[in-house]
Amino acid sequence: MPEDTLFSKIARGEIPSTEVYSDENFYAFRDINPGAPTHVLVVPRRPIPMITDATEADALLLGRLLLVANKIAEKEGLTKDGFRYVINCGAWGGQTVFHLHVHILGGRPMAWPPG
């Protein structure tokens, strides 16, 4: 069933994670393999496989996803020096978990362009 993604199980507490934020629509937790001193993943509880699968009906959810990410970035102390949001999409984009998520990466200067 579509709800049975790795990240749905994490959001439901069926797989352990380090919670950073939780509300009725979103769950955020620390990446198990951090790419920066701060690396948080924000996921909508209702899974959308890829950002390109989002439709007009998801517009509010997508906006709120970024506002929740902003709240977390602020709470994690990232906003003064700056940080990065990443949404990987598909194989060449480096997506490995097909449940839409925003990476919040910070705590060090970020290289550009990314690898």
With beta carbons less than 8 A apart as the criterion, state whether 100 and 51 touch.
Answer: yes
Query: Does the annotation count 39 as an active-site position?
Result: no
When the beta carbons of 14 and 81 are compared against ligand AMP, the nearer one is 14
What is the closest distance, in whole angstroms, from the C-beta atom of residue 70 to ligand AMP in the complex? 19
Per the structure block, which two tokens stand in for 37? 């001193």
- Residue 91 found at the interface with ligand AMP (CB under 6 A): no
| Residue 17 is a binding residue for ligand AMP (CB under 6 A) | yes
Q: Which helix (H) or strand (E) holds 82?
A: none
Whole-Å CA distances, 41 to 1, 18, 28, 38: 22, 10, 5, 10
Which residues would be at the binding site for ligand AMP (CB under 6 A)?
A: 6, 15, 17, 29, 31-33, 41, 88, 94-97
